[in-house]
Amino acid sequence: MPINTDYREIDFIKLNAMVSNGLLDSRYEANPSLSKYAEFHLEDCKENPTIGLLARQNERTNDYPKMRKHNLNILNNVDSFKKEDKEFKDMYNNMYPKTGKVRKQLIKHESIVLDEVRPIKKDFTRTFIKLFGNIIK
């Protein structure tokens, strides 16, 4: 039985993230008439920001980074996409004013992923702060 999040299946959220990524990260130039698929993904992100961003990171490839920027610039010229993107960013910043940056970092560095929980990566900085953090204060 699939996991539901506010009456939406995770599989649909993953599918929207995959199609949105395929539109952006492709060697072909983006067609502005296909911006509705990226808008569907932004709607998923507005309903469940953390799950939407996790699905985006999970489905992200970096095959054509220059084309990704180029295609994103093309989509930013479409008014409906620009409006959805602005609404999502405003909603995200209002919902998570203090923890938004931390959430994005956790997702970016794959400390948490959509289908599983991974242990914390231990590195020198974390150990140093843990041992000598009270001295620094």
Is the Cβ–Cβ distance between 24 and 63 less than 8 Å?
A: no
Q: What pLDDT shows up at residue 129?
A: 73
The domains of the chain are located at 4-136
Which of 5-14, 36-45, 60-69 comes out lowest in average pLDDT?
Answer: 5-14
Provide, rounded to the nearest whole percent, the portion of the chain with pLDDT above 90. Answer: 16
Q: Is 104 left (phi over 0), alpha (psi -120 to 50) or beta?
A: alpha
Please give the average per-residue pLDDT across 42-52, as a whole number. 87
Residues 6+ apart with CB under 8 A from 84: 39, 42, 43, 46
Across all residues in the chain, what is the average pLDDT? 81
Residues 6+ apart with CB under 8 A from 81: 35, 38, 39, 42, 75
Q: Is 60 exposed, middle or buried (0-12, 13-18, 19+ CB in 10 A)?
A: middle
Measured CA to CA, the distance from residue 49 to residue 2 in angstroms comes to 19
